[in-house]
Structure formats: C-alpha cells, structure tokens
A and B are shown apart, each in its own frame.
Chain A
Amino acid sequence: MGDLLSGFADALTPGNLLWAFIGVTIGTAVGVLPGIGPALTVALLLPVTFRLEPAAALIMFAGIYYGGMYGGSTTSILLNTPGESASVATALEGNKMARAGRGAAALATAALGSFVAGTIGTIALSVAAPVVADIAVNFGPPEYVALMAVAFVTVSALLGPSLLKGGASLVIGATIGLVGIDTQTGQARLAFGMPSLLDGIDVVIVVVALFALGETFAHLIAGTGDSRVEPLRGQPMLSRADFRRSWPAWLRGTALGFPIGSLPAGGADVPTFLSYSLEKRLSKHRDEFGHGAIEGVAGPEAANNAAAAGVLVPLLTIGLPTSATAAVILTAFQSYGLQPGPQLFSESGELVWALIASLYIGNVLLLVLNLPLARAWVRLLTIPAYGIYAGVLVFACLGAFAAGGTVADLIVLTVLGLIGLLMREAGVPVAPAVVGLILAPLAEQQLRRALALSEGDWSTLVSSPLTVVLWLVVLLALVAPPALAFARRRSTGRDKQSVG
C-alpha cells in the first residue's frame, strides 16, 4: 500500500499530471479514428514518448493506453467499426442504440462502465501483481517454456475464427521474430545480408505495418465503402432507468473480465462475448437485444476494460504478453530500459507503482475529459476517409522511421503491410502474429536455457507439477475444440460445411 501511495506521489506532480493529460487526450483522439484499435494507437504514439524520461514516458503511455481503449468504444458505437475484436461486442448493441437515437446514453454507459471496470481492475491489479510476482520469482526456464506454450495455443485458438488461421498468423509473426542475430551464437538468421535486418525487425514496425498499412490497403481495394456516423443528440447522460440497468452489468462485466484477462493465456476479448451472452440471458428486456439494449453495451465494455487491466498482471509479473496491445506495451517497456518479469517490482518498483497510480489517474481524467467532450470526438469522425487514412500513413511512416531510423525500415514496413493486407483479405487475424513475434524469441531463449541447464535432457520440461499441468492445458486446448465441433456436428446431424 505504501508503494502505491508513493506511486501516487510521483504521478501527481504537476509535470506528470500534464503528461497524463496529454496522453489521455491524444490517445482518445487517435483511438477514435475508425479502424484504429488500442494496439495500433499505442504503437503509433510510442515514438512520442521516446525522448521523455522513463517515469514521464510511462505515465503518458498509460494515458495513451486507456485513452485508446476509450476512443475505440466511441467509434464502435457511433460508426460500427470496431478497431479490434474486444470492441466487437460493444458495437453489437451500441450501434443499434445509436441508430435509435440513443447514442448519448450508449456513450455514457460505456464511459462510466469503463471507469468503474478500469478502477476495480486497477485495484485488483495492484493487489494481485505483487502476489503473482512473488510466485513467479521461483519459476525456472521449464515453467516459462510451458507458460509460453499455453499462451501460443490459446492465442491461436481464441483470437481467430479457427485454430488453423490463428496458428497461421502466429507462425507468420514468429518467423518475423526470428530475423536478426541469434543471441547465443552470433549468427545472422534470415537477414539476407541486409545490415538493417541484423538487429531484427522492430515490433513497432510490424504492428504498424500489419494493422495500419493493412487497413489502409484494404480500404483502398474495397473502394470508398461509405460508413455512416450516427448523429449524437444531447449530452451523454444516463437516465435513472438506464443507470439502474447499467450498474449490475458493469459489475458482472468486471467480474468476468479481470480474472480471464489476468490468466497467462490468450483471449482477453473472450470475456466481452461471455458478458454479452450473460447479459442477454439475465436481462428482463431480452426483446430489446438486437435493437439496442443498454446492458449489452455496459457489460462488454466493462469486461473489456477490466480485461485490459487484467492483461497487465501476466505482462508485468511474468513478462508474458497475451494480447496484441500487451505485446506493444512490452516493447515500450523495453525501449524505456525496463524488463517486465518478477524482478521488475523489486528492481524498478518505483516506476511500476507510478505507472499503476497513473492508470487510476488516467481513468479519472478520461471520465472528466470525455463525457463533456464527446461532441468534439464525434466531430473527428466526420473527417473524410481519405484524410484519415492518408494521415494514418504519414504517422505510420513516422513511427517506423522513429523506431528503425533507416530507409530500409520503410521498405520493410511496406512489404509487411502487403502481407497484412493478404492476411486481412484471407480472414486471418493479425493479433496472434504480434504475440508470436514477441513471444517466439523469448520462448526459444527459455527453451535453450532450460536445455543448457539440464545438459540436453528434455525431461526437464516436465520436471515440476506446474509444468505438467500447463502442458496438459496445452494438450486440452489443442484437442478440445475440434472434438467439440465434431461432437456438435454429429448431434445436430447437419453435414453442411461450417464457415471458416
């Protein structure tokens, strides 16, 4: 508790408050733009924080992260273009509400729900993280290898329409992650003699290419797909009846979101869909679902924000990113010279607690800033598509150049953007690729370390009870979905081909 208080003391200085404020504002402004989810917001704005000192950079970064999440939900509701799969559930009912002229109420319940869930999630994070870090101190390389295997399998299975497509994405990302000098033997892998590839391809470049360029290219190919911005009438406020329907949904969403998000497994967007179906089942207004039911916005949005706080638990304590956004955050930490993991709390405790404190502050700022300013954000949505995407390209190139610093990085960006386009067209999700890119090199390192310690004895991988359990989870996650699908197909008797 004392740590957290001193974190607040660090974060509440006027200078740091200003960084938090700037972070929240630009995070929201960029997150509002259609097709830009939190992962891309964070990646695009990362260069902004490069030149700040670590504490200020982390605080601004926390603001950008939460701001991007908030901005994304505004777009999902008013424009029905969720920037990532975690906002899809919000868009389901939210956009229906906006079409029925209830956009203001939808925005309000999303903002308040995000605030409630974000606050509870951050409190849970500050309680859980030190405990998990204490446990994780005892983890050796075999435990890390098993944990990463769980993350690989669950990310492939849960972040995509099918294990095949999710796995394809993961392997593409992991292959990109191989590029560069092998740390153990000093040999260049997949560098093809290009000097700028020797250090590997920067994560920011890959994220920006797969998300931003892929999206821009897809828009170019699809032609000017007209998307309708729903007008916003009145101030975002909740009527008494709306509030009464919203708050239980917020709490239920939070209760689903944080625990699932904090598992060291992929699928931080799963609780949003679980929350949606739970609200649908529990609601007294079930007939409203599909036509704009406020619980259907409140629950998933709260689940999304609570999961976003939960994802930070494995990230900060084990160094294990389980979503695309977390993968980018890990890169950000590394660029500030911090290595997430059990040692983070003991070695850079001050910085971590300042970050956690600024998550609380960012949450409050967002609430204060966004409800009155909702109209200004909505105006951003009326920028024509060509302006938004051309601007995104300019910022994407800026980000890539800032991260890499050479012309070759911009060429790499373009090539990866084309791969991103092909993946998008093929219905292959790009988020697992980002996780694979970050995790695969870490997994290789831990596996080699484990085998070096055991002098080549592979049985070290299942030497402790925890590792055995984790490998069983891997096996289950691989076998269960196809088996379930097979069983369901037999029981329904339909032999029609399933989509995807």
Chain B
Amino acid sequence: MTDIEEGRPVPETPELAHREARAAGALGVLMILGAVVVLIDAARLRDSDEALGPAAAPTLMGVLLGVLGGALAFQSRRFLRTPQEGKRRLWRLTALVVVLIAFALLLPVMGYVVSSAGLFAGAALLLGAPHPARVVAYGWTLAVVVFLVFDVLIGLSLPTGPWGF
C-alpha cells in the first residue's frame, strides 16, 4: 500500500501544506455557499407525480455539497484566518481573468483573429514573456493559423470582425 501512496504528490514543505489547507478551507466555504444556492433552486421546482421528482437530485447534491464542504472547512479551520497570498500574485490572476472576459466580450465585435492575438499576447505577458513585440507577432501568427485551419479548412464558423477575419 505504501508504494501506491508514494506516487501521490504530497506537499513537500510545511509552508506548502499550510497553503493547501487554506485553499481546502476556502473551497469548503465555497461549497457551503454553493449548497445554499442549489438547495434554494431545488425548493423552487414544481413537484411531479413521479416517485422521484426533479428536485430530488439537486436536494441530495445540495446536502452533499454542504456536508463535504463543511468537512473540508472544518479540517482546515486553523489555517483560514492566517495572512493571505502575495498581493502581486492575486493581481496577476485578476488581470488574466480580465483578459479572458475581455476576449469573450470582444470576440463577436472584433472577430476571431484580432481577439485571439490579443488573448495570446496578454496571457503571455502576464506569464512573464520577455519581448512584447515578439509575443504580439507570435500571437498574430497563431491566431491566423488557427483561423485558416479551423474556419477555412475544417469549416467551423468562427466569428469575423468588420474586416472579415
């Protein structure tokens, strides 16, 4: 049995274990919130004349989400109140999420190639790419190749901007 467990990635340092426990606690709290949402949504469903109505599965999932989330949060309660992640890391994560949402919103307006080139460049720069000009060039190339292969060759219709690509 120990050989099986050997292969599992185990947090190497106390610091990492600490971070993992804090994340587990946060996930647990999120699951409890999710449980509330799921249960409220389930309660609103009209019952049918079946033995098992449409609300049965969501109710069960809501309860399980709450119980398992509660257990995760309880296990790591000691770690939940300790200081937070480095601010810069969270800032970079927020920036990438903004880039992704901007991509989603701009896609129908600007067309696939321009938005994807922007997504690539933005993500690469946030991930620490050294040469902005080169990254933009890579992004354009990738976006154009993807567009040619998927839209022109395979026939998956991708959104086009006012300029037709």
List chain A positions with a Cβ less than 8 A from chain B: 47-48, 50-51, 85, 88-89, 92, 161, 164-165, 167-168, 171-172, 174-175, 178, 182, 184-185, 187, 189-190, 216-217, 219-221, 223-224, 270, 272-274, 276-277, 280, 384-387, 389-391, 393-395, 397-398, 401-402, 407, 410-411, 413-414, 417-419, 421-423, 425-428, 440, 444, 447-448, 451-452, 455-456, 499-500
Contact = CB atoms under 8 A, between A and B. Distances in A.
Nearest to B66: A171
Contacts of A174: 61
Contacts of A276: 3, 7
A270 B138 contact: no
Interface in B141-163: 142-143, 146, 150, 154-156, 158
Interface of B: 3-4, 6-11, 17, 19-20, 23-24, 26-28, 30-31, 34, 37-38, 41-42, 45-46, 48, 50-54, 56-58, 61, 64-65, 68-69, 71-72, 75, 85, 89-90, 92-93, 96-97, 100-101, 103-105, 107-108, 116, 119-121, 123-129, 135, 138-139, 142-143, 146, 150, 154-156, 158
25 contacts: A51-B156, A161-B10, A164-B68, A164-B71, A171-B65, A178-B57, A184-B50, A190-B41, A216-B96, A216-B127, A220-B93, A220-B96, A277-B4, A387-B129, A394-B119, A394-B120, A394-B123, A397-B104, A407-B108, A410-B103, A419-B30, A422-B27, A427-B23, A455-B51, A500-B10
B127 A390 contact: yes
B45 A423 contact: no
Given A393-B120, A422-B26, A175 B89 contact: no
A413 to B, nearest CB: 8
A273 B3 contact: yes
Contacts of A165: 24, 72
A452 B49 CA distance: 10
Contacts of B61: 171, 174-175, 178, 440
A32 B96 CA distance: 25
A220 B7 contact: no
Given A168-B72, A185-B48, A190-B41, A393 B3 contact: no
Contacts of A413: 100
B69 A394 contact: no
Given A172-B65, A384-B129, A391-B120, A187 B50 contact: no
B100 A393 contact: yes
B158 to A, nearest CB: 8
B84 to A, nearest CB: 12
Nearest to B57: A444
Contact of A184 (B54, B58, B146): B54
A276 B4 CA distance: 8
Contacts of B64: 167, 171
A189 B58 CA distance: 8
Smallest CB-CB A-B distances: 6 pairs: A277-B3, A456-B51, A410-B104, A425-B23, A386-B127, A426-B24
B127 A389 contact: yes
Given A221-B89, A397-B116, A426-B27, A387 B3 contact: no
Nearest to B123: A390
A47 B104 CA distance: 18
Nearest to B10: A499
B26 A51 contact: no
B100 A410 contact: yes
Contact of A499 (B17, B65, B97, B120): B17
A455 B51 CA distance: 7
A85 B7 CA distance: 8
A286 to B, nearest CB: 13
B124 A386 contact: yes
Contact of B57 (A395, A397, A440, A500): A440
A393 B93 CA distance: 14
B156 A414 contact: no
Contact of B31 (A172, A386, A395): A172
A428 B24 contact: yes
Given A189-B54, A220-B126, A391-B142, 16 more contacts: A50-B154, A88-B9, A164-B68, A172-B34, A182-B45, A184-B50, A189-B41, A273-B4, A276-B7, A390-B129, A394-B146, A397-B104, A402-B150, A410-B104, A425-B20, A426-B27
Given A190-B58, A452-B51, A390 B20 contact: no
Contacts of B17: 499
Chain A CB count within 10 A is highest, among B6, B45, B51, B121, for B51
Given A217-B96, A387-B129, A411 B104 contact: yes
B97 A418 contact: yes
B27 to A, nearest CB: 5
A47 B156 contact: yes
B50 A448 contact: yes
A386 B58 contact: no
Contacts of A390: 119-121, 123-124, 127, 129, 135, 139
